[in-house]
Every structure is written in C-alpha cells, then in structure tokens.
Structure 1
C-alpha cells in the first residue's frame, strides 16, 4: 500500500517540477538522485509497515492457519489505522491534489493545443486515486470508532459494518496499483500511437517549449531595442563629428 501511493506522489511532484520549472528537472532526474530518493522512500514505507506486522497473529480457523490483525488494546487499533490514514492517504493525496492544481493552472496559461485532454487526464488520475482508496480508509475510521465506542447497539452496528466491508474495500484499494497504466492507455492512446511510450513526456513538453518561446521573443525584442538605441547613439555622434569638422567659408575668399 505505502510504496504504491508514495511513488504516485513522487510522480506528481516530478510532473509539477517539469511543468513549472522545466530547466530544473535535470537536478532531480539524475541517476544517483533517483536511486537515493527511491531508497529513502522504501526505508520509510518499511518503517511505516512495522505496526501491520506487530498487530498480526496466526490463528487456527476451520483447520486452516489464518494471519489476521489482532489488537490487544483499543488504542492499538487507533494507532495502526490512524497511521495508515495519515501516511497512506491524507499526506500523499494532499500533495497530489496541490501538485495537479498547480499543473492545471500552468497549462491554462499556455497555448498548448492538447490542454483540454491534458486537464481531463489529470482530473482522472486524481479522482481515481480518491475513489480507490477512500472506501478503505473510511472502513478504517469506522473500525477506530468501533474500538473507542462504549458497549451498546452502536458499537455492534459498527462492528458488523467494518467486518463485512473490510475484504471488499481492501480488494478495491489494491486494484489501484494496476489502474493507472490502464487509465494512461485509454486516456492517452492517441499520444501512444504518435509518440510511443514516452507520450507523458510529450504531454507536458509543450509548456516548456511555450515558456522558452516567450523568453526567446522577449530576448529578441530586448535585443532589437538595444540595437536601435545603439544606432541612435552612433548617428548622434556622427552628426556631432560632421559639424565639428566643417570649415568656415569666408565670402568665397
């Protein structure tokens, strides 16, 4: 769960840098930089996964061994699932949404001819992430509420809900790991036919080109203005030299 979500978050950050600061992309795409970033991510997700190993035990049910979550204290339930909510949804999803909002704003400022399709693809990525993972974390919060709730009919109802929903929402959540490639294929199949597998790079390349074109035009305009100023100065100096070198005429004598 953690690495798939964190890697999607890193992809959104990379796209943000590629669109807003295209000249700085090379600073984060070096081989050593990428390896270090991925290594740090994997270390962090392994540490975040420790509670899932601690709060699991093997039980014998119907002559079968079942590995399932077992919490000795209600606070353990809150600790594990609140950690999943914060590290596995709230933080990465906030980063993803903010990144794509900034990307969309940048795309709206360009004359990129595929801007509308780009916006739809970005919106689909964000919504897909939410739709796949939100039910899973809602069930987590229901279980946390059940664990902290006093005994009564409400507690029994919450217990029934999370027990019956856990398997389904977990399956939906993990399907998201293979959803993005399918989403990219159907949303950008025209890019794939024209550009090959590097169509995502081509998708955002127009923004960098547009920015470079504007800078080039501005530089050209500044250069022309400087040339005009230089020509004016030279003409002025030439006129002054001509007037100073002219000889006076003494009535034809």
Structure 2
C-alpha cells in the first residue's frame, strides 16, 4: 500500500494494498478503495463511498460529500463508483438521499472531465463521457456510451438515453432519447438526427442504424402523425429491431416528457 505521509486516512476506511494515496489526500469515514486505484493530491473522499478497481481520482476532487438537498439530515446514504473510471480535477460527486435512491451510482470506463458535477441519486452507465463543467442535477440517469459536451446542464429527474451525443453549452430539461444527436441552434436545442458516426464507431450493424434512422424520421419528421401514432407505426413496421424497441420503450416510460419533436423546413 502506498499512502503518502501527508495524507489523512480515517481508521474506518478500507484501502486496498495496491492502491495509491497521494500527498495531502483526505479520506474521511467508511470509504472503501479498490485495487490499483489512485487518489491524486489534495482530493477529498468521504462518507459511505465505495470505489472499485483501477480508477483515477483527480486532484482537488470532492468525492462522496453530503448531497446538496434541503431535506438531507445526515442519513446513511452512499456513493458507488465502479472500475476503470477517470475522474479529473475539481470534479464533485455527491452521495444519495433517503428521498431518492439512497445512492449515487457510476458504472465502469467513464471519463468525467474537470469541474464536472454529479449530484445526489444520479445513475451513470458505462463508457460515458462528460466534458468539462458538465453538470447533472439530482436523480438524473445517463445511459451507457452517452457523450455530454462541455457546459451541458441537465435538469433533475431527466434521463439521457444510451449512445446519445449532446452538444456543448446545452440546457436539458426533458428526457433525451437514445441513439440521437442534440445540438444548439439560435439559443434553442433540437434533435438533429441519429448519432450515426458514434454508432458506427461502436460497431453497430449498418442495417440497425438504417432502422433507427427510419424510426427517427417517423418520430421527428412526420408532422402528420401524432406521437402515439408514430410510436404505433414504428412498432408495426420495425418490430424486429431491439434497438428500435428500446427507443420506443424510452418514449413510453418517460415521466418528464421527451424533448420536443422538431420539423426541419
């Protein structure tokens, strides 16, 4: 175990023998740090926080702090971070609340860039990228392989589907379906199309991307169809595609509502 002499490690903490704790780190409370994880200088890790294997926790991060919730009163909630994540400088990630899921969860192989914030009760999948200063309010869900640009801000209780790309400086207040690109135009956000480049890079079959594109056109480029009719038509014509079915399920399970359909001229 490599723990620098200037680090302060709570006796309640459990640090794997292969972990590395750099100078001036503070580990406060029943923290559990897994194998080959490095906590860089001046980071603070606190509370009921579990960090898996081979993570890098950047300098001046605040990991596992109490939630910024007016109703939180010191209850035992937790933060769970999986394996192989890069959490860069000045990132803040908060524990859950008893009014929510009681935990904040981050999966595996994620890149959380500098100054990003992940609030209480959020759930993040695998292979997610959050660029600098991306901000999640409480109870947000981010699907695997999603990519959030710099300065993206997402309203509480919103969901972002898997393989979605959201351009920088975007404000999101409704659910964003999977497999799409969102971009800004004249201070407004719109869904521009299917994230074809991202899906190709991920190895998705061309026929699957074609069917997702057909579903997108029915949902977002068919003004003659009500949303419920577009969903019914998709289920009738494209029922053999699991990814299309996931998109339909996303719409049908939305509680906040999905971002507004936009029709290009």
- Same fold, TM-score > 0.5, yes or no: no
- Which is richer in strand? 2
- The structure with higher relative contact order (CA 8 Å, sep 6+) is 1
Larger Rg: 1
- Which is richer in helix? 1
